[in-house]
Amino acid sequence: MQNPGTLVSLSGVDTAIVAIYFLVVLTIGFYLKRFTKTGNDFFMAGRKMTAWIAGLSFVAANLGALELMGWAASAYQYGILATHWYWIGAIPAMLFLAIIMMPFYYISKTHSVPGYLQLRFGNSSRSLSAVCFGFMTILMSGINMYAMALVMKVVLGWDIHFSIWVSSITVGVYVALGGLFSAIFNEVLQFVLIWLGALLIPIIGLIEAGGWGKMVAKIHQNFQGDFTHLWRSIGSFSDNPMGIHWTGIVFGLGAIISMGYWTTDFLVVQRVLAAKDLRSAKLAPIIGAGFKMFVPFIVILPGLLGLAVLPGLVGEAQAVATGGHSFNEILPLMMARYLGPGLLGLGITALIAGFMSGMAGNVSAFATVWTYDIYKPLRKKQLSDGHFVKVGRWTTILGVLVSIGTAYLVMQFASIMDYVQALFSFFIAPLFATVLLGMLWKRATSAGGFWGLLAGTVSSIGMWAWVKVDPGALRIIALSPNAKAMAENMYRALWSCLICAAVTIIVSLFTNPKPESELNGLVRSCTVLPSEKHLKLTQKPIFWAGVVFAVFIVLNIIFW
């Protein structure tokens, strides 16, 4: 455990599996290039996707390094509490997007979330959100590069810089060629590969541990504190390894960060906007939510197994200083422990697929927002549709190159997920308040939308800087001086969202709103939504949303 050198070597079969995967994704990119002639094809996949394709892509775009590496590490760091980011931190928000918000995104025919803000609040809000989203997306893309390079370094001994460049160039090529078409079809392929490869570790690991009960017993032997209950230990800040209270989980995560991410982060919303009709667009997040509930089995469980069989892993900075392994490496360490020739190739391919899926999602979303929400408004003269397709392709390459630089920033954080959630609290939490008020409150004005979004974003970054300068500020921001980084992120998101909402409301009450005639298709009270009365009960999105929500409740009770 103290020697971070090469853990395993790929056999000929393993190498062939990995090589075939790279060849397939590039072939898909070259093949789909012939179908991406217009801007609608390149940036929105022609709006031709079925509910199942859009739904699987919706989940796969999020099933990158954030999931596979980040949450396995967080499960080792915080125990089963990390599952909250899959259940209360995803399912209600995905269903809310499907039933409440999707009709307005789809009916308005917007190409992006900043595009919706431009229709609702004007150019100033669109520009601010586009710049913030572009900045966040590039930083997030760096996570996927870093995580993939980390796997290659730990498992195979590959140079971390070589791994970053190989993965990023491959993604850049197939997204630049086929745009969102290529990204979506590769994401569906990658979704299948991830499940096939990632299932191996929890199955073999549980067999070694002797089942769930014996694994829990071993965790209790190795660590003090409750690492195996979702809700029982969060009635007090001091009773759980995250140092968080249930209010942070329910309000900071469930009501703000998750709602913000799943309903306003264009990375995932873009996939649903590519659906062929409104019903498909509403069903896609519901289908995604059904699959999302079971992802912890392949992501969280390996981290819990690590607590049972590999105690002693530390944070990234300490690992670098001592030459040991960090908990960011728990997933590749478990792969080295359990997977032999053939299986290892499948496992490595699953991880590469996940990393490339997440990175492709970020890069394709960045290209769309940059081209339509930043570049196009700056050009005064009319330009051809083909011109913007070219800009989108070059922006994809530029985004990849900038992302390479941000990959090295991740190394400065103890946990990958601490880094990710900090970004969400900066940009996603206040954006959610702006979009939600815009859709549900017709009195919200253009000035209110802009100043509220600006105040929420600046306040969130300011709170983060305050804690860096004065750690004692945790007592005020996170309600406890013992809160860990993840708990701080949850409360900072809550406060920034509330600040954004308050400023939006106050400014709106003192400024003039748009006439209702201009809000049709943008605000709920001003829009007549298409009727679904002619559909059978089992054909209605609201029915399947209810089924998914019932399963969600049952799972939380089982692991209470």
Q: What pLDDT score was predicted for residue 4?
A: 44
Report the pLDDT averaged over residues 282-302. Answer: 90
Structure tokens at 217: 């017993």
Q: Is the confidence at residue 450, as pLDDT, over 90? A: yes
Query: Within a 13 Å sphere around the CA of 324, how many CA atoms are in the beta-carbon half?
Result: 16
Q: What pLDDT score was predicted for residue 504?
A: 96
Q: Is the confidence at residue 467, as pLDDT, over 80? A: yes
List all residues 6 or more positions away from 302 whose beta carbon is below 8 Å from its beta carbon.
72, 75, 201, 202, 205, 330, 331, 334
From 274-283, 438-447, 551-560, the region with the lowest mean pLDDT: 274-283
In order, the DSSP letters of 210-261 are TSHHHHHHHHHHH-SS--S-SSTTTTSTTSSTT---HHIIIIIIIIIIHHHH
Q: Is the confidence at residue 531, as pLDDT, over 80? A: no
545 or 317, which is more confident: 545
Long-range contacts of 552-555, Cβ-Cβ distance < 8 Å, separation of 24 or more:
552/87, 552/91, 552/92, 552/289, 552/293, 555/87, 555/293
pTM equals 0.78
Minimal CA–CA distance to 456: which of 260, 162, 204? 260
Q: What pLDDT score was predicted for residue 366?
A: 81
Full 3-state SS string of 260-301: HHHHHCHHHHHHHHCECCHHHHHHHHHHHHHHHCCCHHHHHH
Angle at which helices 160-198 and 266-273 cross, to 10°: 50
Report the pLDDT averaged over residues 138-165. Answer: 72
Q: Is the confidence at residue 323, as pLDDT, over 70? A: no
Do 124 and 289 form a contact (C-beta atoms < 8 A)?
A: no
What's the pLDDT tens digit per position in 369-412? 888 778 887 776 777 777 888 888 888 888 888 777 777 666 65
Buried b (16+ CB within 10 A) or exposed e, 17-33: bbeebbeebbebbeebb
pLDDT category at 441 given cuts 50, 70, 90 is very high
47 or 16, which is more confident: 16
What's the pLDDT tens digit per position in 225-267? 777 888 888 877 777 777 778 888 888 788 887 888 888 876 7
- Per the prediction, the chain carries an average pLDDT of 81
| Nearest-angstrom CA–CA distance, 380 and 371 | 14
pLDDT category at 321 given cuts 50, 70, 90 is low
Q: What pLDDT score was predicted for residue 154?
A: 63
Exposed, middle or buried: residue 485 (CB in 10 Å: 0-12, 13-18, 19+)? buried
Q: What pLDDT score was predicted for residue 151?
A: 65
Exposed, middle or buried: residue 87 (CB in 10 Å: 0-12, 13-18, 19+)? buried
61 or 449, which is more confident: 449
pLDDT category at 111 given cuts 50, 70, 90 is confident
Q: What pLDDT score was predicted for residue 310?
A: 81
The domains found in the chain, sorted by start residue, are 12-418+536-558 (1.20.1730.10)
Q: What pLDDT score was predicted for residue 63?
A: 74
DSSP character for 141? H
Minimal CA–CA distance to 388: which of 36, 26, 127, 139? 36
| Nearest-angstrom CA–CA distance, 367 and 10 | 35
Which segment, 356-365, 422-431, 539-548, is predicted with the most confidence on average? 539-548
239 or 116, which is more confident: 116
Buried b (16+ CB within 10 A) or exposed e, 503-523: bbbebbeeeebbeeeebebbb
pLDDT category at 317 given cuts 50, 70, 90 is low
Which segment, 36-45, 430-439, 504-513, is predicted with the most confidence on average? 504-513
Report the pLDDT averaged over residues 77-106. Answer: 87
Which residues, in sequence order, are bridge partners of residue 356?
A: none
511 or 393, which is more confident: 511
pLDDT category at 3 given cuts 50, 70, 90 is very low
Q: What pLDDT score was predicted for residue 208?
A: 85
What's the pLDDT tens digit per position in 160-209? 777 777 777 777 777 777 676 677 777 777 778 778 777 888 898 898 88
pLDDT category at 1 given cuts 50, 70, 90 is very low
Percent pLDDT > 90 in the chain is 14
